[in-house]
Structure 1
Amino acid sequence: MHLTQVAPYVTYPPRLGGDHRTHGLVKEFPQHGDTVTRFCQGGSPAMYKSLDLRRTVEIAERYTEYRHLHPLHELLKAPMLVGYPNVFQGQALSVASDGLGTLLADADVVLAREPWQTPYVLDHVDESTPVVFSSHNVETERFGDIDQPLFEGWVERRVDALERRSVEGADAIVCTSERDANVYRETYDPGGPILVAPNGTYEDDLRDHRPDTEAATRVRRRYGISPDATVCLFMGSNYKPNVEAAETVVDVAREFDASVHFLVMGTVGNALEEAALPANVTTAGYVEDDFEAHFDATDIALNPMQSGGGTNIKLIDYFARSLPVVSTPFGARGLDATPDEHLVVAECDALPAAIRRLADAPERRRTVGTNARELAASTYTWEASSRKLRRFVVEKFGPF
């Protein structure tokens, strides 16, 4: 099988949650002798920062990322910087799509990410080639209230039109949760079957918590965190729902003294006003060095999400590292995780009390963390979701 995947920007190596899903869903296809070619419409900030301007990246045997770098792609992403969706990507492809036509012609099946590019793909692929719409969120929910002063009504109508065209025009849909699948069924008239392939973690990341390593000690020392302090970690990108959750973390931190330290990892920390943070909050920014050690230096992981779409990849990443998690009910949505067995669930106003109880119960932390890792291993890995997607494609559209 030759699978052409269409993505909105450079994906490999994956950095953000969406990148991990884009890569993770196709990760296992080459292991079965399939060819995967990913068309990336433009670059990413990390790529330009590192001056990695390669057009073609060989990720593995029979797995290639082709990058179409064009100023128009980058220009039309500008509204995303102020919170708008990338509704102009289809128009950009109408002007600049060098290489995509060939990839679509060569494909046995096309996997198109999100509704921004899928309508273009549907209009330009041979009618005999199946198109699978790869949903990461229900975008009409995610941008249903963009809270921007200009063109809000037009943007909402445009997002709905693009998502409707993608859901109803695709030959099949793959989404993150049964909840998202039901929203599509209730809101639109899906043009084909829907597969739920949940977000996950990589099998190589499944491991025991290792708080006593030299690397974990080094991380605590780097941020001036006492060896005796309970460390609570929140991580995320600079994305509105993550910023909202990080602000909740800061509010919770004010309820504690220095014996409980809150570490905010990822670009979400850039949205916090450093001067206004309490002394027991540290923003680490985007972490490359000692990335795994930050998990080992952590006692409790936090997931105080209150909005957003899909399911939280960060939650499964916490599970994979055997970390006990305190999450809001919304943050745990879409996962088959049992409260008090795989994680602790509490509303925002009850988060401090839940954290205190876990901080005082190291044995319970170990039990909950171990249960969480076992759940991730059995249900939530990218490898499992990729194999599930491949079986689905072969059964519905094969043989190839």
Structure 2
Amino acid sequence: MHLVQVAPYVTYPPRLGGDHRTHGLVKEFPEFDDVVERFCQGGSPAMYKSFDFRREVDIADGYTEYRHLHPLHELLKAPMLLGYPNVFQSQALKIASDGLGRMLDDADVVLAREPWQTPFVLDQVGDETPVVFSSHNVETERFGDIDQPVFESWFEERVDALERTSVEGADAIVCTSERDADVYREKYDPGGPILVAPNGTYEDDLREHHPDSRGAARVRQRYEIPEEATVCLFMGSDYKPNVEAANAVVDVAREFDDESERVHFLVMGSVGNALDDSGLPENVTVTGYVEDDFEAHFDAADIALNPMQSGGGTNIKLIDYFARSLPVISTPFGVRGTRVTDGDHVLVAKLDGYPDAIARLADKPPERAELGDAARRLAADEYTWEASSRALREFVVDEFGPF
């Protein structure tokens, strides 16, 4: 099979949750001797920061990422910096899409990520080439309340039009949860079958928690965390729902400000860039983006926090916590679309219940270990990218093969 994947920006190596889903859904295809080509429309901030201007990246045998770097692509992404959706990508492809035409001509199947480029792809391929719409979120929900002073209604209407065209025009859909699939069925008239391939973690990341490791000790020492403190970890990128959650973590930390020797809060990732350093309590450490000792930060933590209150799709960080055998305290919204059981795999609490939940787990290491082990087993059984990728390939072959 020759699969062409169309993505709105550079994906590999994956850094953000969307990148991991883009890569994760196709990573197993080369194991079946399939060819995977990914067309990336422009760069990413991480790519420009590292001066990685390669046009082609060989990820594995038969798996290549092609980067079409063009000023127009970057210019039309500018509204995203203000919180607007990525609605101009199809228009940009009409002007600048060198290389994509050849890929679409060679493709047996096209996998188009999100609704921003899918309408262009649908217009370009012939009737004999199936297009699978790869949904990461229900975008009309994600951007249903843009809360911007200018052109808010126009952007909301445009998102709805793009998503409708993608859902109704594609030959099949792959989405993150059964709930998202139901929303598509109720809101639109899907043009083909729907596969639910949940977000996940990589099999190589499934591991036991090692709080006594040298790496964990090194991380605690680096941030001057008291040796006996219970460490609560939140990680995320600089993305509005994550910023909202990180501020909630800071609010919870203030509840323990007089017990800073007992409970410490570690905010990991670029989400920390959006926090006001001057107003942070002493028991909060903001790490910024972490490359060195990444896994050791998980070992240094005793509890993972998932206080998400908004966003789309299912929560990738939740499964990443599970993979590292960390006990998780999550809001009800944070476990949406997953098959978790409160008290067995995770503790579910509203934000005002977080201090009590943290205090409970801080005093019960055996309960923490039991929750973390059960969560890792659930991730291994149901939430790996490898399993979702194999399921997607089987779905494509069953619906459109043989190739």
Q: Identify the TM-score tier after normalising by the shorter chain.
A: over 0.9
Q: Which residue of 2 aligns with 1:8?
A: 8
1:165 aligns with 2:165: yes
Pairwise CA distance, 1:345:
0.2
Pairwise CA distance, 1:127:
1.4
Q: Which residue of 1 aligns with 2:304?
A: 301
1:291 aligns with 2:260: no
1:354 aligns with 2:363: no
Q: Which residue of 2 aligns with 1:217?
A: 217
1:88-108 Cα deviation digits (max 9, x unpaired): 000000010000000000000
For 2:292 and 2:150, the matched residues in 1 are separated by 40
Q: Which residue of 1 aligns with 2:52?
A: 52
1:244 aligns with 2:244: yes
Pairwise CA distance, 1:155:
0.3
SS of residue in 2 equivalent to 1:254: helix
1:339-360 Cα deviation digits (max 9, x unpaired): 0000000011111101110111
Counterpart pick for 2:313 among 305, 310, 313: 310
SS of residue in 1 equivalent to 2:355: helix
1:202 aligns with 2:205: no
Instruction: Tell me which amino acid in the other structure corresponds to 1:248.
Output: A
Instruction: Tell me which amino acid in the other structure corresponds to 1:4.
Output: V
Q: Which residue of 2 aligns with 1:125?
A: 125
Instruction: Tell me which amino acid in the other structure corresponds to 2:307.
Output: P
Q: Which residue of 1 aligns with 2:76?
A: 76
Instruction: Tell me which amino acid in the other structure corresponds to 1:338.
Output: T
Aligned positions of 1:299-378 closer than 5 A: 299-378=302-381
For 1:126 and 1:299, the matched residues in 2 are separated by 53
Q: Which residue of 2 aligns with 1:190?
A: 190
Pairwise CA distance, 1:227:
1.3
For 2:159 and 2:339, the matched residues in 1 are separated by 29
Gaps of 5+ in 1: none
SS of residue in 1 equivalent to 2:341: coil
For 1:349 and 1:252, the matched residues in 2 are separated by 8
1:265 aligns with 2:299: no
For 1:367 and 1:388, the matched residues in 2 are separated by 30
Pairwise CA distance, 1:335:
0.5
SS of residue in 2 equivalent to 1:315: helix
Q: Which residue of 2 aligns with 1:36?
A: 36
For 1:283 and 1:120, the matched residues in 2 are separated by 41
For 1:280 and 1:77, the matched residues in 2 are separated by 37
For 2:4 and 2:216, the matched residues in 1 are separated by 41
SS of residue in 2 equivalent to 1:331: helix
For 1:285 and 1:76, the matched residues in 2 are separated by 27
Pairwise CA distance, 1:82:
1.0
For 1:267 and 1:79, the matched residues in 2 are separated by 20
Instruction: Tell me which amino acid in the other structure corresponds to 2:372.
Output: G
Instruction: Tell me which amino acid in the other structure corresponds to 1:267.
Output: S
Pairwise CA distance, 1:221:
0.8
1:113 aligns with 2:116: no
Instruction: Tell me which amino acid in the other structure corresponds to 1:246.
Output: A
1:185-223 Cα deviation digits (max 9, x unpaired): 000000000000000000000000001111111111111
For 1:264 and 1:93, the matched residues in 2 are separated by 38
Instruction: Tell me which amino acid in the other structure corresponds to 2:119.
Output: P
Instruction: Tell me which amino acid in the other structure corresponds to 1:388.
Output: A
Instruction: Tell me which amino acid in the other structure corresponds to 1:369.
Output: G
1:76-133 Cα deviation digits (max 9, x unpaired): 1111111001100000000100000000000000000000000000001111100000
Q: Which residue of 1 aligns with 2:154?
A: 154
SS of residue in 1 equivalent to 2:312: coil
1:282-328 Cα deviation digits (max 9, x unpaired): 11111000000000000000000011110000000000000000000
Instruction: Tell me which amino acid in the other structure corresponds to 2:265.
Output: F
For 1:136 and 1:253, the matched residues in 2 are separated by 31
For 2:239 and 2:348, the matched residues in 1 are separated by 23
Q: Which residue of 2 aligns with 1:178?
A: 178
List, as ranges, runs of 4+ consecutive aligned residues in structure 1 with deviation greater than 3 Å.
Answer: none
For 1:2 and 1:126, the matched residues in 2 are separated by 15
For 1:215 and 1:245, the matched residues in 2 are separated by 27
For 2:88 and 2:193, the matched residues in 1 are separated by 27
Instruction: Tell me which amino acid in the other structure corresponds to 1:320.
Output: A
For 1:165 and 1:267, the matched residues in 2 are separated by 34
1:382 aligns with 2:352: no
1:67 aligns with 2:34: no
Q: Which residue of 2 aligns with 1:17?
A: 17
SS of residue in 2 equivalent to 1:317: helix
For 2:312 and 2:29, the matched residues in 1 are separated by 26
For 1:319 and 1:38, the matched residues in 2 are separated by 29
For 1:189 and 1:55, the matched residues in 2 are separated by 38
Q: Which residue of 1 aligns with 2:97?
A: 97
Instruction: Tell me which amino acid in the other structure corresponds to 1:381.
Output: T
Gaps of 5+ in 2: none
Instruction: Tell me which amino acid in the other structure corresponds to 1:202.
Output: Y
Instruction: Tell me which amino acid in the other structure corresponds to 2:149.
Output: P
Instruction: Tell me which amino acid in the other structure corresponds to 1:285.
Output: G
